[in-house]
Amino acid sequence: MATTAKIGVKDQDFLASLRDFFRSILQLEDISGVLAPKKLPMKNIVMPTLVTDPENLEGIDPLAPCFPLNAAKVVSRLTRKPMGGKVAVVLRPCETRAFIELVKLKQGSMEEIVLVGLDCLGAYKNTDYFRFAKENVTESTYRFCKSVLSGNGGRIEDIDLSPACKACEFPIPDNTDFLIGLFGVDTNDHLLIQSKTTAGDDIISRLDLPEMEEPPDRQEAVASLIAEHTAFRDNMFAETREAVDSLEKMTTYLANCVNCYNCRVACPVCYCKECVFVTDVFNHDPSQYLRWADRKGSIKIPTDTVFYHITRLAHMSTACVGCGQCSNACPNDIPVMELIRTVAQHTQKAFDYEAGRSLEEDPPLSVFREDEFDDVVGISAVIA
């Protein structure tokens, strides 16, 4: 049975209370480190940081609206071989779901980690965050959290949440050992902590946190937020379908792609060791470009942009978790996330699959099922 307890907040400073909480976790005998977003001392940015000394937890800022990369890739690198110690890993819900996919693809392991999730308040685009944070990262995080938790959606002046966050229907962490809750909670007084596994139960009991009932307003607050995000998502899907419903429109949609492949590099679930688009397959002979140009009179260069994105759609849409890092990494502001999520909605529904939902679900196309798509392949008719 899940344990629900509370983390006390002193002087209405929930960030300081979170740091104290992670400090107490790091002091547990079997926890060797904490991986969490932390403000870098040399620049006004928050990045995943592995901390082993409790004194170095100052600056930990898991609620900052800063999302420079999906940390599932970092955890994958840390767990692909034994570390020799257990690490408490603090992830956003989309990062947890991406890591679940990577574990199923044998790119990581759950053996030496404790997964910690926080209610996700969202994040800004990288460029917007730099404008927002300015000189004081911690102060900007407080401003952002108060905006979201008061119902203002995180919009401050002309800076708004990234489209990926506004379209995310999974702001509450799942598949973690325990979660830290903020929605529907009086964060001036306490934060909610709820175990999801026996490992989470064990940690909460060892930290001797006072138990509490889940606040009555929490479920309503969460349901309202998800409904708002779902409405934005569905409108985004409709607009994107309209924008790419022909090859001509798709070409226009992707016209300013320069084949930098940043979206591929930033994607947390794109795990191929060698991508076909960086091999000799697409290293065309110079004479080929002249032949293509002769055929049409002129050709756009680079030539393979639409094919590149269609290939990624076919490859990644079953595993897309909607984190938005593809769009975040695009130098030319192409709405890549909107395109992949719109297609992913259909491919995942077709396979009755939800990326990152469960470790027990095999990824689509990785197993053969006799009862799958029998209306298409006619297997049931053959068997009959």
| pLDDT for 366 beyond 80 | no
* Distances in whole angstroms, Cα of residue 150 to Cα of each of 146, 147, 161: 6, 5, 15
Say how many CA atoms lie within 13 Å of 9 toward its Cβ: 17
**pLDDT tens digit sequence for 87-130:** 999 999 999 999 999 999 999 999 999 999 999 999 999 989 98
**pTM, full prediction:** 0.91
What is the C-alpha separation between 285 and 290, in angstroms, rounded? 9
DSSP letter string over 13-70?
Answer: -HHHHHHHHHHHHHTSTTEEEEEEEEE-TTSS-EEEEEE-SGGGGTTB-TTSS--SS-
Pick from 49, 164, 71: which is nearest to 117 by CA? Answer: 71
**pLDDT tens digit sequence for 13-63:** 999 999 999 999 999 999 999 999 999 887 778 999 999 999 999 989 999
What is the C-alpha separation between 280 and 304, in angstroms, rounded? 13
What is the C-alpha separation between 235 and 229, in angstroms, rounded? 10
Task: Give the mean pLDDT of the chain.
Answer: 91
**pLDDT tens digit sequence for 199-219:** 999 999 999 999 999 999 999
**pLDDT tens digit sequence for 312-337:** 998 889 999 999 999 999 999 999 99
Q: What is the mean pLDDT of residues 227-256?
A: 96
**b/e string for 207-223 if b means 16 or more Cβ within 10 A?**
eebeeeeebeebeebbe
**pLDDT tens digit sequence for 162-212:** 999 999 999 999 999 999 999 999 999 999 999 999 999 999 999 999 999
Pick from 377, 375, 376, 348: which is nearest to 363 by CA? Answer: 348
What is the C-alpha separation between 316 and 267, in angstroms, rounded? 9
What local confidence, expressed as pLDDT, does residue 108 receive?
93
What is the C-alpha separation between 59 and 16, in angstroms, rounded? 9
